[in-house]
Chains A and B, each alone.
Chain A
Amino acid sequence: MDDALVRAGRALRLVLLIVLALLFLIPFYLLIRNALSTEQEITSPAWTFFPTSLHWGNIRELFDDPSVPFARSLLNSALIAVVTTLGTLLLTSLAGYGLARVPYRHADKVFYGILGTLLVPAAVTFVPSFVLVSSLGWISTLRGLIVPTLFPAFACFVFRQYFLGFPRELEDAAQVDGLGPWRTYWRVVVPNSRPVFAAVGTIVFLGAWNAFLWPLVIGQDQSAWTVQVALSSFTTSQVIRLHELFTAATVSILPLLVVFLCFQRWIVAGVERSGID
């Protein structure tokens, strides 16, 4: 009797999971369906499961539309995401290594000073940060969009935790070979720590590409719009061309889906490392 019950339970669970998976995929289906439809097909009261012919021309139309600075905002987003990722990795990994490995009298105080910023909710600081960036004259510049976001305490913390467990023998061997701390770091520590760099890097990249509040506040001119700000201003504007909007949204998440599918294990590792603690 138990056996039948267990099997029935297992089948029920599988059915439930399949239903949930289909529900989770519906938004992606809508995104692609609308991106490849004409305006009439989207707004038609009779639902068509998929457009009868795929309108790839929507993509050209989007990039040709002079009223929408979409190509520029894509480029901005790409630049910001790449520079932010590399800059963050450099700064936070060096700091994490110093905190974990270089003995210093006041290291604890510095560490708690860094940790303390985790208690300050990031979004609450947007008013003060705006104040600072505007007094630096960095409004609507890529500098203003990038530089203030290069110092996430969580990434430094993840690196510190990781380097605390890094095998000391490797560093000692480098010392015997006459390498100083700086060259030991670059030649021995970094090459042996690729997984943690990949994990933090993918998380930072996703966050930079998808960020909205900070780019909205700082990127006030169209020339400094990121893809998210551009999409948002189309969504909340008066005249909305749905097929163009959905094409734009699809184009905006394609780079991320590629990153996501290629680096999923690192993203999972990054979530696990940064989510806990």
Chain B
Amino acid sequence: MEYYKIKNIAGYLSKIFLSNPLTPILAIAILLLGFISLQTMPREEDPQIEVSGGAVMVALPGASPQEVLNVVVKPLERRIREIKGVEHVYGMAMNNVGMVNVQYFIGEDRESSNLKLYDKVMQNMDQLPKGTMPPLVKPFDIDIDIPILTAAFYNLPHTKPDIVKLYKIIRDLQQEINALDNVSKTTLKGVKRPQFNVLIDLHKLSAYHISLGQIAQAIKSISTNAPMIDTENNKGKLVVFGVENAIDTIDDLKELIIAQYMGSPIYLKNIATVAYNYDIQNYQDALISYQKGMDNEPEAIKYNMHRHKKGEAMKAEHAEKAEFRDMAGQITLTVSKLKGTNAVHIAQEAIKKIQETKKKLNNAGVGFIITRNYGERADEAVNELVHHLEITIFIIMLILIPFLGWRESMVVTVAVPMILAATLFIAQLTDQTINRITLFAFLLSLGLIVDDAIIVIENIHRRLHLDIDKKSVDEIIVQATDEIGPSTNIATIAIILTMVPMGFVGGMMGQFMKPIPLNVPVGLAVSLFVAYVFAPYLARKFINFKKIKADVLAHHEKCEKSHKESNEEKV
């Protein structure tokens, strides 16, 4: 029996691990790590795109657009142009206000970009024209500013709408949600803030001979807030006292004496309607219209439960129309997450919090609808793709059976999840998230990564049928793996090389696609390792050698027989 001399790394690897007791433990460890990664990695629908930029707003009251352009926007634009890494500068000169939007090249580091912008504005504070208000620098941050969850709160149809009370309830809820882990920013949209409204009757004003300025002055002079004063008394103790804001309730305001007219005092209530309600000057508003039932059973409507059967649904659609509640006022609560945290968990936590208060809200006549849930969407997208991956692996296994036999195809089927698991684990180590594109990278690489395992198994299969009667099984497996080593190595390196340049694609698209050049080469490299280490091991465990040997021997006998026969015939 000749001894096979190993020439390639493939052969060495397969030989080391072929009869090593640690091999199965390593395999299980890899699978476990992959599973843990799948469960714990932050999930998102779309990959994170590093978009840095911001806006600088400078108010110059009373200036026309042309003036704002010359005084504010143009100098500001020039200054911002000095910053390295700025792709576009958008200027906007409006009445009273100038705005400059800065857009950095995609992929520029966010924190330093924000800092650079802030720094540039602060450096030039002394050059600010007279009469401008301090500039406002607002960096925009895709991860922090895009809310993952929004919920609309509104007064239930049968209750009397009280927008101020609604605001108060939601404001408290906001505080609680903000206290949850990893929640970064919560905002309220469509709020009406409480306010004392003093609306002047012009006729009475002229009748009492009072000017508007007087009223403003009167209110201003009485409603000042001052800090407490502390002073020592004659015994050396501290005495603390303070001036109270004279306006405490709405009545205080009403009873405010504005002026004297013909000897009698004129109260504010005489010349104006004074009311405690919401900020009437705020035209920003939020409204909601929803299908009836959305507030109680949103799932039923979302998943079209009432239209189970498709055929009936088509007919019913014409007859039955969705009923909507008329537009009503609402307050939308938005919840954003911190960068790199799991959208799914945060959304779930926040919804749980809202659901907990549901009863309390309903008692107060408040209903709510979750109007956006990126956490759920991310989870759904990820689960769907994971499901796709499973189906695909199963299909590949099925298709390999006629080619290789079911035992051999089992080897490939076990190898694929191992490769994916290891790749996923590496992705987690390198701070990536699971998103659609990552999973697409996996789906795309699936066709590529099974290849190495297939080639190894196919060659083992071929070798076994050739040499099983001549050599030991272990030796055949090592030899078979070693044989195809060089070409498999070079081919895999070739594929890795084709994927690498994709990592240098710039712009939004490049950032969006980044998980592909990041993960596919890793997957391919891992697939080589798995094909050399685990495929031979698994082949040794799974393949029924006795049967093959018997087959081959039978085949030989048959051949010899036919050979003999043909020889005999010749004779």
- The finding on whether chains A and B are genuine partners in a shared complex, rather than unrelated, reads no
Q: Which residues of B contact A (CB under 8 A)?
A: none
Q: Which residues of A contact B (CB under 8 A)?
A: none
